[in-house]
């Protein structure tokens, strides 16, 4: 948690039901309601950063390293998170993305689409 001098005040209005839930959680964990709210805010921000990073990575917009950085995790932790969540969008990574010219945007591509129509037209190695 940041040092006291680095704090900024934030006033929000929340529904009464949410306030009751917050109070119940704080009471169950024997902490002040404001401390519980801070903890939940930190956890929520961390989770949202992970969700955004996972989405960008699944769409192929960022590398795994950049996604880990966005998520605030090490590369190892991000890889573990991808595995644990079993995110359905990650399967899109198996299909390499290409730009409008047909050139690969990922290192998994071998050749532009349509370069060789049939296997017999492929050059033979000497």
Contacts of 64 (CB under 8 A, 6+ apart): 57, 75, 78, 79
Rounded distance between C-alpha atoms, residue 62 and residue 59, angstroms: 8
What pLDDT is attached to residue 7? 86
Whether 45 is in a domain gets the answer yes
What pLDDT is attached to residue 6? 85
Whether 40 is in a domain gets the answer yes
Rounded distance between C-alpha atoms, residue 45 and residue 41, angstroms: 6
pTM above 0.85, yes or no: no
Which structural domain, as residue segments, surrounds residue 56? 14-96
Q: How far is CA 46 from CA 68, 70, 103, 105, in A?
A: 12, 10, 35, 29
Whether 30 is in a domain gets the answer yes
Whether 117 is in a domain gets the answer no
pLDDT tens-place values along the chain, 126 residues long: 555 668 899 899 999 999 999 999 999 999 999 999 999 999 999 999 999 999 999 999 999 999 999 999 999 999 999 998 875 445 445 445 555 565 555 555 544 455 444 445 555 554
| DSSP helix/strand/coil, 104 | strand
Whether 105 is in a domain gets the answer no
Q: Which of 93-102 are b and which e, b meaning 16 or more Cβ less than 10 Å from the residue's Cβ? A: beeeeeeeee
What pLDDT is attached to residue 99? 57
Whether 77 is in a domain gets the answer yes
Rounded distance between C-alpha atoms, residue 53 and residue 115, angstroms: 34
Q: What Rg, from alpha-carbon coordinates, does the chain have? A: 23
Rounded distance between C-alpha atoms, residue 118 and residue 103, angstroms: 19
Looking at the structure of the chain, the number of domains it has is 1
Whether 126 is in a domain gets the answer no
Whether 124 is in a domain gets the answer no
């Amino acid at each position: 948690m940041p040092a006291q001098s680095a704090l900024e005040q934030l006033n929000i209005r929340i529904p009464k039901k949410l306030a009751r839930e917050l109070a119940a959680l704080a009471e169950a964990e024997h902490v002040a309601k404001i401390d519980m709210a801070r903890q939940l805010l930190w956890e929520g921000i961390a989770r949202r950063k992970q969700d955004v990073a996972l989405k960008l990575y699944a769409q192929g917009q960022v590398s795994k390293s950049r996604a880990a950085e966005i998520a605030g995790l090490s590369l190892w932790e991000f890889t573990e998170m991808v595995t644990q969540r079993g995110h359905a969008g990650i399967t899109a990574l198996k299909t390499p993305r290409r730009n409008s010219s047909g050139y690969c945007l990922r290192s998994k591509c071998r050749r532009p689409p349509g370069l060789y129509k049939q296997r017999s037209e492929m050059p033979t190695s000497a």
